[in-house]
Chain A
């Protein structure tokens, strides 16, 4: 489609070289008068056809592109955004509660273990108690049988479906993605997830979504299989914070950001320290280099002309 536009440009330049500022349509009619142009005229006509169709198709594609890419999500001021800002750990704890009660029925988080939560959102006792609530299938015993046991800290968070096919079957063909790395796996992930979860709206006039899908402007294409999950007071927070839709969205994104980048706090500390130290080292190295080179940079060369 872009090629069609380019060809149109080339054609216009050709027209300008032949005659001054001839509009395309009048060229069309003048072509009939100039039959002697011959094969080059036919080629130009072919270019014209390609250009016009290119332009026309480009205009329809442009309007489809908007829904294709989804509405651009805004940038929210996350508390962990600054170069020395840590996560809001109370928010991570609430976010994990939201995940457990709202999201875990469909979305797995198979890369997170219960032990990862210790010291981040829960104490060791709390995490152990949480792990003990689930049943885990464990390796063959001495009799060669698989058995189930209560969970331990070392176990991963439980998966709602045994495999992708079961997940698709239970969700009308759509696979609820694993959320362990979702904020890194989507462009502008943190803002995207928040905008998506809180952005369920009525579709624009003229758009109809089929049965089984829901309209979300932030989702590429606009039709998402997940229904609106965050509703005011869907969850009752342990710490008493009012569970509005925006609050739950913020907490779940804090939790998912931590899950995808648990090393973020240590990374920022390390980065700040080493950038500072290396800047000092740079200043020292620059001084030392100039000191050593000063001998050569300050020499004088005299050209003695031989008479």
Chain B
């Protein structure tokens, strides 16, 4: 499921570099867990579509949905991996690969 999203993101990156924003990627992969608030929000959007008074809005449902996504993203084991990301510095590579083993089981 996540591979399709991954390759979709790559098309926006430069040809020689594969830069994927980890937070956006995790938010996409958390969407299936937060379907209920998303449906509530979409129902609200539909409800207020005809309204012209300008007083109706869907902030509540929007907040519920994004709160669910945020909680899921911040709890994902993959967050620990992205927090420890380092370049050619080398020092943290051992730790990184150990965490990667943990991540591949869960994600």
Contact = CB atoms under 8 A, between A and B. Distances in A.
Q: Chain B interface residue count: which class?
A: 35 or more
A80 to B, nearest CB: 10
Interface string A228-260: 000011000101111111110110000000000
Interface in A35-72: 63, 66-67, 71-72
Interface of B: 13, 17, 19-24, 41, 44-45, 48-49, 51, 54, 56-63, 66-67, 70-71, 73-74, 79-80, 82-89
A138 to B, nearest CB: 38
Contacts of B66: 71, 201, 217
A263 B45 CA distance: 49
Given A90-B86, A206-B57, A245-B21, A76 B63 contact: no
A109 interface: no
A246 B21 CA distance: 6
A138 B84 CA distance: 43
A205 B45 contact: yes
Contacts of A237: 87
Interface of A: 63, 66-67, 71-79, 90, 195, 198, 201, 204-208, 217, 222, 232-233, 237, 239-247, 249-250
Nearest to A201: B66
Interface residues of A: mostly helix, strand, loop or mixed? loop
Contacts of A250: 83
Contact of B63 (A79, A217, A244, A245): A217
A241 B61 contact: no
Contacts of B83: 76-79, 250
B106 to A, nearest CB: 15
